[in-house]
Amino acid sequence: MKKFLFVMLVMLMSMTSFAKEYHVAKAGKDANPGTKEAPFLTISKAALILKSGDTVTVHNGIYREWVNPFNSGLNKYSHIVYRAAEGEEVWIKGSEEVKTWKKEKGTSSVWKAVIPNSAFSDFNPFALELKGDWLVNTGGMTLHLGEVYLNNKSLYETDNLDKVKKPASAATKTTENAMFGGGTTQDPEGSLFKWYAEVTNTETTIWANFQQYDPNKELVEINVRPAVFFPKEQGVNYIKVSGFKLSQAATQWAPPTARQTGLIGPNWSKGWIIENNEISNSKCSGISLGKERASGQNLWLTENTLTGFNRELESIFKAYSLGWNKDNIGSHLIYNNEIFNCGQTGICSHFCAIF
């Protein structure tokens, strides 16, 4: 037994001695070696090379990217660590800033921006409908994953331009109370800030009522990415995320019978630590520890042959056959995060939080 413990101690010391620390800063370049003196420019660059035990320290600024962790940590003693530099304010956003607003003729507070669809790559949230099992009340409108933010606060989507020009206080804000129906906005003054979008094959036009504000003089952003910190592949284990401000992702509705994406999450992996972060303005869910797609994807909505409850039970058995067990999934540690202004849930999890 003593020999075994000695061997384990030597192994851990060896891993620690080979661990590296990389740095990311707004003045950096991805061609740099990632040292403190010559940092990377993007967190995504660091994500490609980080190995078990390594740390990337990110310095002050706003990073507009989808961080896709590529490698796993070895075990609960040897995570890959992503952290904000101590005492520095580090944002990771799923949005881009828009500074091309033009005043709509005949109005005092409505502005228009025309954005080429190439700016969205292969994901345009203003063209994608908010939908899923248990989404039963959207205020009679077809809502979308897109959002417009004025000084880090989301505006209210509406379904035609006239309602932008002549706004009325909203009865329901986007996904608020969408599962159970009913409810009035807790922000009647804010609900006068409305937006509407039209999407063609080549461009996306957004109209927004900014009331007394000039959007070209304020911080105005639109979400363009489906996540902020979320691996694209499953099974990226033992990742630690600490100290960031994570915001503005175009997440889809996340019922227990569909893939549950969050602004941040492990995507069907094991042993993550998410600590000391500020998480805000996810379209639907802030943190997702939940379900993947293969065990069922909105079958209550698309097939309507069984109730949502039956579909949920069905997905449990499918997940078990797909490797849902304590050896592969869960065992996450989530603590001391501040989560706010997420449209559906602060944290969601079907399956992954059980272990």
State the pLDDT confidence band at 173, using cuts at 50, 70 and 90: very low
Query: End of a domain among 207, 223, 239?
Result: 223
Q: Span 149-175, mean pLDDT?
A: 84
Are 85 and 234 in the same domain? yes
Are 232 and 250 in the same domain? yes
Residue 176 lies in a domain: yes
What's the domain count of the chain?
2
Domain encompassing residue 54? 20-93+228-348
- Rounded Cα–Cα distance for residues 197 and 190 (Å): 19
The residues, ordered by sequence, that sit 6+ positions from 100 with a Cβ below 8 Å of its Cβ are 113, 114, 115
As a whole-number percent, the residues of the chain with pLDDT over 90 amount to: 67
Residue 8 lies in a domain: no
CATH code, domain with 106: 2.60.40.1180
E strands in 144-238: 148-150, 153-154, 156-157, 194-199, 203-209, 220-223
Residue 13 lies in a domain: no
Rounded to two decimals, the pTM is 0.88
Instruction: For 277-305, write each residue's pLDDT tens digit.
Output: 999 999 999 999 977 777 777 676 787 77
